[in-house]
Amino acid sequence: MRASKTLPFAAAALALALGACSKSEPQPAAEPKKDAPEAKPATTAAGPTTGAVATAPAAAATPAAIATALPAGRSAIPTLAEWNSQQKEVTVKGSSALSCETKVVREYLRVSCRGKNDTGGTPTNVVVKKGGHGEAFTYVGAGVTSLVVPFVEGIDFAADFSWTDKSHTLSVAWPRGSARPVVVGVFEGAKSPLDASFDKALADKACQCHKQVTGKANCDDLLGVNADCARTYPNDCASFLECSRGEPGVWPRCQAGFLNGPFGFCYKQCDPSKSECGPDESCQGDSKYAICL
C-alpha cells in the first residue's frame, strides 16, 4: 500500500482494517523452567546493584486516536469487509472497458482495476495527479491497481491509471452547490457505452427538431449539435438549434464550473495562476473571468 505522505492516518487506518482480517491465534506464554533457580540481584557491600531501568514501550495508536486526525465530518476509511459487502457499483465512464470495479461506501470511492483491459493490457500503476487533499491513497500489486478517495461535494480530482499497453486519466468532480452527480467519474479516452448512447440520442433529437423547424425530410444541412443547448432548451426546438449554431442572444445555461465563452458555448472555468486546463488549452482571462480555450 502506497499511502499519500501527507496523510499518515490513512495508512494507519488501512493497516488496522487489514489487521482485523488476521486469523493468527495468540501464542501461549512460555513456562519458566522449574529447575532453574530464581534470579536474584547481585549485591555488594553497599547493597543491591541496580541495573538500567527499562522504559515501557510507547502505547500503540488506537482507532479512537486515529479518528481524531480525520477532517471534520469525515468517517473512518471503510474496512475490507465493508468494501466486500458492497455489491452495487457506481457509474464511472470507461471503467467496464478497462475491467475496473467502482464502488462507494459512505463518502469513499474505490476504483480497483484487475485483469486485462479491452486491448489486452494489464494494470501496472496509478498516480494521483490533482486533488485528493492528502486523503487519496493508492495500491499497486501484481496485476492490480486500486485507488481510494473521498467523493464529497467540491472534489476536483484526477489520477493516471496505467496498463502495459496504455494509460487513461481518471477524472472525478462534484462542483460545489450542485446535486450529487450520477456519473461519478470518467476515464478520459476510454471506450464507454454511455458515449455512444448519449451522442445518438442527442443527434436524433437535433435531427427531429431540424425537420420540425425547417420542414425538410433530411438533416443533411444541420449545423451543430450542442449538449448544453439541448439541456437548456429541452422543449424548444427552434432555440435549441439556434443555440447550437452559436447565434447571439440564445445562449445555454452552463453547469457549475463552466462559463459562457465564444459563441455563447460553455467552457471550463479556470484560474490564470494555476494549470487547470487540458492539453493544447490555456487559461485565458483575468482573476474574475477566465476560461480554458
* CATH number of the domain where residue 158 is located: 2.60.40
DSSP-derived secondary structure letter, 55:
P
pLDDT at 141: 83
Both 129 and 220 in a single domain?
Answer: no
The whole-angstrom separation of Cα 101 and Cα 113 is 6
The whole-angstrom separation of Cα 176 and Cα 27 is 53
State if pTM tops 0.75.
no
pLDDT class of 105 with cuts at 50, 70, 90 = very high
Kindly tell me if the per-residue pLDDT of 32 is higher than 50: no
Q: What is the pLDDT of residues 150-164, one digit of tens each?
A: 999 999 999 999 999
For residue 194, give the 3-state DSSP assignment. Answer: helix
pLDDT at 204: 85
Taking the chain, what is the end-to-end CA distance rounded to the nearest angstrom? 38
| 217, part of any domain | yes
| 48, part of any domain | no
More confident residue, 237 or 60: 237
Parallel, antiparallel or unpaired: strands 183-187 and 91-93: parallel
Q: What is the pLDDT of residues 177-204, one digit of tens each?
A: 999 988 999 999 887 665 554 467 888 8
Amino acid at 37: P
Grid cell locating 94: 470507461
Burial class (CB in 10 A: 0-12, 13-18, 19+), 76: middle
CA angle 89, 15, 20 (to 5 degrees): 80
Considering its fold, how many domains does the chain have in total? 3
Residue range of the domain that includes 121:
80-191
Both 106 and 149 in a single domain?
Answer: yes
| 123, part of any domain | yes
Grid cell locating 282: 490555456
Grid cell locating 152: 464529497
Contacts of 213 (CB under 8 A, 6+ apart): 237, 238, 241
The whole-angstrom separation of Cα 191 and Cα 89 is 18
As a whole number, the mean pLDDT across the chain is: 76
Q: What is the pLDDT of residues 215-268, one digit of tens each?
A: 988 876 676 678 899 999 999 999 999 998 888 889 999 999 999 988 788 988
Both 131 and 174 in a single domain?
Answer: yes
Grid cell locating 90: 457506481
Kindly tell me if the per-residue pLDDT of 126 is higher than 90: yes
The whole-angstrom separation of Cα 290 and Cα 293 is 9
pLDDT at 250: 92
Closest CA to 97 of 241, 202, 193: 193
| 266, part of any domain | yes
pLDDT at 227: 87
Closest CA to 110 of 133, 134, 80: 80
Both 85 and 177 in a single domain?
Answer: yes
Closest CA to 172 of 219, 118, 213, 133: 133
pLDDT at 185: 93
Q: Where is the domain boundary, 143, 176, 191?
A: 191
pLDDT at 177: 93
C-alpha neighbours within 13 Å on the C-beta side of residue 203: 9
Query: Position of cell 492539453?
Result: 279
